[in-house]
């Protein structure tokens, strides 16, 4: 039986409070099995008949009593209903409830009430959005439309096992919320269970009312894929009456912050409040008959991040997009030019006891950071991260569609993971997370069977990432960070090749990334314009032998010597600076160096004082050497008083 959870803030609706949020009465709605569901009815005037917006929720209808309704309008009545088995409807609990049939019974009961004019729509985020599909599938006569937000109707394997790896933080969160998914977790391989579940939960042809789907570029992984699939299926094989009327809006939003200005460490003021405005326009057209032209709007409207503007098309992605390969090169270069020589691979150790941390991104857990966050200090600066960047873009690079990474890899273990983070590097050095992906190597060929690796053998593997609408603007760079973990977003691979998700020995893996003429590893981007990359620039990564950065003594008390050795004279043609940051990322001290007069080996002394001469407190600091726009190397430094 479903458990009750105190984690209601998971589905906080951050929209304006309704003008009549305190004006409600509670009632019971009869179901076909003679049980009753608890409901609250909000109406501007119970002596008049209004169109009704139905919200069926597993997160407690009482939340709206104190926080207000999600849409600021006095043109509609609202009915908030607790799901069967949850909160006020706990007494109606049954095993394997049919929430679609319950939705049908709610719609048709509401239609008979004196305060309803017979026109009913549904609204909701996440699970409250998913139940709209289930209700529409039952085709209640008085349901005219729905607005499912960051929600999908299909249950599928990668919703729980992304790239073959358990989505740890997602699973923990939905278990805390009280959803019983134990049966899903018993099938970590795409077996007959998933084949049947995906078949029976995929029913676009049975949905025959207009739907306004909304998604977020920073929404968690499964929904980012699921919403695009759902919209395309609804508009091609969906019910005939709704097929030509579905709309899709996707903005720069995270699952918990739909319609907010602030997303992670970035702000999107031009996308703030859009979900509320668009939902009201949609409801006005279908429930009130307002001639606002909503049905003539483009089928797809999306927020193009980077340029931060709304764009539209009749399909996603548009026909003008073409797949473009950005190949990995030595010394951390990312280029459209294919490698022409053989090179030694990039090598790193992956220790499951010290996984690469999840910093921001599309996770759903309320205990993690969400959305775009700078990856430099806690991800890219680790020894288990291999970083590849383009040169500074000389023109905008427009990326619209699904991203993937094609890698050639090997390991000294029977199984391991490879992860990818796609980042947008700003002129000030911030490396802002855009997308993430993972592939468990035992599932490199398919999710239907496990095939362990042969240690030392080179394999080709594709890492899929979600859709994105992002312009890497002129002056920015494209970056990929390759590792073997991203925890707790994804499960930690113990590298031992044993059975999945059981205790066992932890093995440190020696993993390799190949990127040469024989093994052309590449980032695959859906691009709408030329590359905009200056191909003759000099490229370096933090493990490059072109520059060696050293600090001694470290830790230090009074003074330390920061030395760097330039192995390549071309480095002297670049602007060079040495910057010191505290743990919050604030610049403490900058040494601007004139490269023309620098010897190939140089040393800078730092006495622990900031740019104003103030002695800094004891603690951890970061020393970052920058050479031109294409190289930076960072090392940790400890000051002890």
CA 132 distance to own-chain centroid: 23
What is the per-residue pLDDT across 465-486, written as a single tens digit (0 to 9) for each?
A: 999 999 999 999 999 999 999 9
Does the pLDDT at position 629 exceed 70? no
Of 495, 527, 559, the last residue of a domain is: 527
CATH number for position 363: 2.60.120.260
pLDDT band at 532 (very low <50, low <70, confident <90, very high): very low
> Measured between alpha carbons, how far apart are the two ends of the chain, in Å?
58
- Number of Cβ within 10 Å of residue 289's Cβ equals 10
Beta strand pairing call for 417-425 and 386-389: unpaired
User: CA separation (Å) from 492 to 226, 373, 502?
Assistant: 24, 22, 12
Does the pLDDT at position 16 exceed 60? no
Kindly state the tokens that stand for 103.
């939705």
The count of domains in the chain is 3
What is the per-residue pLDDT across 413-451, written as a single tens digit (0 to 9) for each?
A: 999 999 999 999 999 999 999 999 999 999 999 999 999
Kindly state the tokens that stand for 329.
């090169």
The torsion defined by the Cα of 463, 469, 475 and 477, in degrees rounded to 10, comes to -10
Q: What is the mean pLDDT of residues 540-555?
A: 63
Residues 468 and 590 in one domain: no
Radius of gyration of the chain (CA): 27
- What's the helix, strand, coil split of the chain in %, to 5? 20, 35, 45
Least confidently predicted of 217-226, 393-402, 418-427, 491-500: 217-226
The residue range of the domain holding 155 is: 8-260+269-304
Residues 518 and 573 in one domain: no
Q: What is the Cα–Cα distance from 41 to 254, expressed in whole angstroms?
A: 30
Is residue 567 domain-resident? yes
Does the pLDDT at position 1 exceed 50? no
| Model pLDDT, residue 529 | 58
Q: What is the mean pLDDT of residues 293-317?
A: 93
Does the pLDDT at position 533 exceed 80? no
Beta strands of 137-269 (E only): which ranges? 143-149, 161-162, 165-166, 212-218, 247-254, 262-263, 266-267
Of 477, 497, 527, the last residue of a domain is: 527
Residues 209 and 344 in one domain: no
Is residue 574 domain-resident? yes
Provide the β-strand partners of residue 348: 511
What is the per-residue pLDDT across 156-207, written as a single tens digit (0 to 9) for each?
A: 999 899 999 999 988 888 888 777 788 888 999 999 999 999 999 999 999 9
Least confidently predicted of 368-372, 384-388, 525-529: 525-529
Does the pLDDT at position 526 exceed 80? yes
Order of strands across the sheet that contains 309-313: 24-30, 36-42, 77-82, 50-57, 116-125, 143-149, 212-218, 247-254, 300-304, 309-313
- Number of Cβ within 10 Å of residue 82's Cβ equals 22
Does the pLDDT at position 382 exceed 70? yes
Kindly state the tokens that stand for 35.
């049980």
Do 339 and 516 form a contact (C-beta atoms < 8 A)?
yes
Residues 345 and 228 in one domain: no
Question: Which of 464, 475, 411 shows the shortest CA–CA distance to 442?
Answer: 411
Q: What is the Cα–Cα distance from 90 to 203, expressed in whole angstroms?
A: 28
| Model pLDDT, residue 311 | 94
Is residue 563 domain-resident? yes
| Model pLDDT, residue 545 | 44
- Number of Cβ within 10 Å of residue 416's Cβ equals 27
| Model pLDDT, residue 441 | 98
Residues 556 and 523 in one domain: no
pLDDT band at 568 (very low <50, low <70, confident <90, very high): low
- Mean pLDDT value across the chain: 88
CATH number for position 191: 3.40.50.1820
| Model pLDDT, residue 253 | 95
pLDDT band at 489 (very low <50, low <70, confident <90, very high): very high
What is the per-residue pLDDT across 151-170, written as a single tens digit (0 to 9) for each?
A: 999 999 998 999 999 999 88
Is residue 380 domain-resident? yes
Is residue 221 domain-resident? yes
Q: What is the mean pLDDT of residues 557-577?
A: 70
Least confidently predicted of 185-199, 283-297, 582-596: 582-596
Q: What is the mean pLDDT of residues 247-274?
A: 95
Is residue 312 domain-resident? no
Q: What is the Cα–Cα distance from 609 to 582, expressed in whole angstroms?
A: 12
Kindly state the tokens that stand for 218.
């920073």
| Model pLDDT, residue 543 | 38
| Model pLDDT, residue 422 | 98
Residues 472 and 557 in one domain: no
Residues 590 and 630 in one domain: yes
| Model pLDDT, residue 595 | 53
Question: Which of 379, 486, 479, 477 shows the shortest CA–CA distance to 436?
Answer: 486
Residues 18 and 46 in one domain: yes
Residues 115 and 15 in one domain: yes
Is residue 255 domain-resident? yes
Residues 360 and 454 in one domain: yes
Residues 446 and 571 in one domain: no
| Model pLDDT, residue 199 | 92
Rounded to 5 degrees, φ, ψ at 169 are -65, -35
What is the per-residue pLDDT across 115-152, written as a single tens digit (0 to 9) for each?
A: 999 999 999 999 999 999 999 999 999 999 999 999 99
Residues 348 and 395 in one domain: yes
Do 216 and 150 form a contact (C-beta atoms < 8 A)?
yes
The model's pTM is 0.80
Q: SS3 for 537?
A: coil
| Model pLDDT, residue 20 | 43
Does the pLDDT at position 567 exceed 80? no
Concatenating the DSSP letter of every residue in 468-505 gives EEEEE-TT-EEEEEEES--BTTSPPP-SS--STTS---
Concatenating the DSSP letter of every residue in 362-404 gives S---TTS--B--B-IIIIITSTT-EEEEPPPBSS-EEEEEEEE
Q: Which residues contact 296 (CB under 8 A, 6 or more apart)?
A: none
Kindly state the tokens that stand for 230.
């759902």
Beta strand pairing call for 300-304 and 247-254: parallel
Does the pLDDT at position 572 exceed 90? no
pLDDT band at 634 (very low <50, low <70, confident <90, very high): confident
Of 479, 496, 527, the last residue of a domain is: 527
Q: What is the mean pLDDT of residues 489-516?
A: 94
Which has more confidence, 568 or 76? 76
Helix axes 127-137, 99-111, angle to 10 degrees: 80
Kindly state the tokens that stand for 153.
């109707």
User: CA separation (Å) from 622 to 426, 432, 573, 586?
Assistant: 19, 19, 25, 10
Least confidently predicted of 23-27, 66-70, 541-545, 631-635: 541-545
Does the pLDDT at position 641 exceed 80? no
Is residue 2 domain-resident? no
Does the pLDDT at position 44 exceed 90? yes
């Amino acid at each position: 039986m479903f458990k009750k959870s105190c984690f209601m803030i998971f589905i906080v609706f951050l929209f304006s409070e309704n003008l009549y949020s305190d004006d409600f009465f509670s009632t019971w709605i009869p179901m076909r099995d003679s049980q009753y569901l608890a409901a609250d009815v909000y109406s501007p005037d119970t002596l008049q008949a209004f169109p009704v917006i139905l919200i069926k929720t597993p997160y407690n209808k009482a939340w709206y009593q104190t926080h207000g309704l999600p849409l600021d309008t006095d043109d509609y009545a609202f009915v908030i209903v607790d799901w069967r088995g949850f909160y006020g409807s706990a007494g109606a609990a049954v095993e394997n409830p049919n929430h679609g049939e319950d939705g049908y019974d709610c719609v048709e009961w509401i239609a008979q009430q004196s305060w309803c004019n017979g026109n009913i729509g549904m609204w909701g985020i996440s699970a409250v959005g998913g139940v709209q599909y289930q209700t529409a599938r039952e085709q209640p006569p008085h349901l005219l439309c729905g607005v499912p937000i960051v929600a999908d109707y299909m249950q599928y394997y990668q919703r729980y096992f992304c790239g073959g790896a358990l989505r740890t933080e997602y699973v923990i969160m939905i278990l805390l919320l009280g959803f019983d998914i134990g049966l899903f977790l018993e099938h970590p391989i795409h077996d007959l269970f998933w084949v049947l579940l995906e078949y029976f939960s995929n029913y676009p042809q049975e949905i025959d009312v207009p739907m306004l789907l909304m998604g977020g570029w920073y929404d968690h992984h499964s929904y980012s894929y699921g919403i695009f699939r759902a919209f395309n299926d609804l508009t091609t094989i969906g019910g005939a009456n709704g097929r030509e009327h579905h709309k899709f809006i996707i903005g720069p939003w995270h699952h918990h912050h739909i319609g907010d200005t602030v997303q992670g460490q970035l702000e999107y003021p031009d996308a703030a409040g859009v979900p509320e405005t668009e939902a009201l326009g949609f409801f006005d057209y279908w429930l009130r008959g307002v001639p606002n032209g909503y049905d003539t709007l483009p089928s797809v409207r999306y927020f193009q991040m980077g340029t931060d503007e709304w764009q539209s098309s009749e399909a996603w992605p548009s026909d003008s997009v073409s797949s473009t390969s950005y190949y990995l090169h030595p010394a951390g270069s990312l280029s459209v030019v294919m490698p022409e020589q053989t090179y030694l691979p990039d090598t790193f150790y992956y220790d499951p006891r010290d996984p690469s941390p999840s910093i921001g991104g599309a996770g759903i857990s309320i205990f993690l950071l969400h959305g775009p966050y700078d990856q430099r200090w806690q991800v890219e600066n680790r020894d288990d991260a291999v970083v590849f960047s383009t040169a500074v873009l000389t023109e905008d690079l427009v990326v619209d569609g699904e991203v993937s990474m094609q890698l050639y890899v090997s390991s000294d273990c029977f199984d391991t993971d490879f992860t990818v983070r796609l980042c947008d590097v700003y002129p000030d050095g911030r490396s802002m997370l855009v997308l993430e992906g993972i592939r468990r190597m035992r599932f490199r060929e398919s999710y239907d069977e496990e095939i362990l690796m042969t240690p030392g053998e080179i394999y080709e593997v594709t890492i899929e990432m979600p859709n994105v609408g992002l312009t890497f603007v002129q002056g920015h760079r494209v970056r990929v960070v390759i590792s073997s973990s991203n925890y707790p977003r994804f499960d930690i691979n113990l590298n031992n090749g044993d059975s999945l998700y059981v205790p066992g020995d932890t093995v440190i893996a020696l993993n390799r990334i190949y990127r040469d003429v024989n093994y052309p590893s590449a980032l695959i981007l859906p691009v709408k314009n030329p590359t905009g990359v200056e191909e003759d620039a000099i490229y370096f990564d933090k493990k490059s032998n072109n520059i060696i950065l050293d600090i001694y003594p470290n830790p230090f008390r009074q003074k330390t010597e920061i030395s760097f050795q330039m192995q390549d004279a071309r480095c002297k043609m670049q602007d060079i600076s040495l910057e010191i940051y505290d743990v919050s990322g604030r610049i403490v001290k900058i040494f601007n160096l004139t490269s023309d007069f620098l010897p190939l080996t140089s040393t800078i002394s730092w006495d622990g004082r900031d740019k104003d001469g103030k002695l800094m407190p004891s603690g951890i600091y970061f020393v970052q050497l920058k050479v031109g726009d294409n190289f930076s190397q960072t090392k940790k430094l400890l000051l002890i008083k």
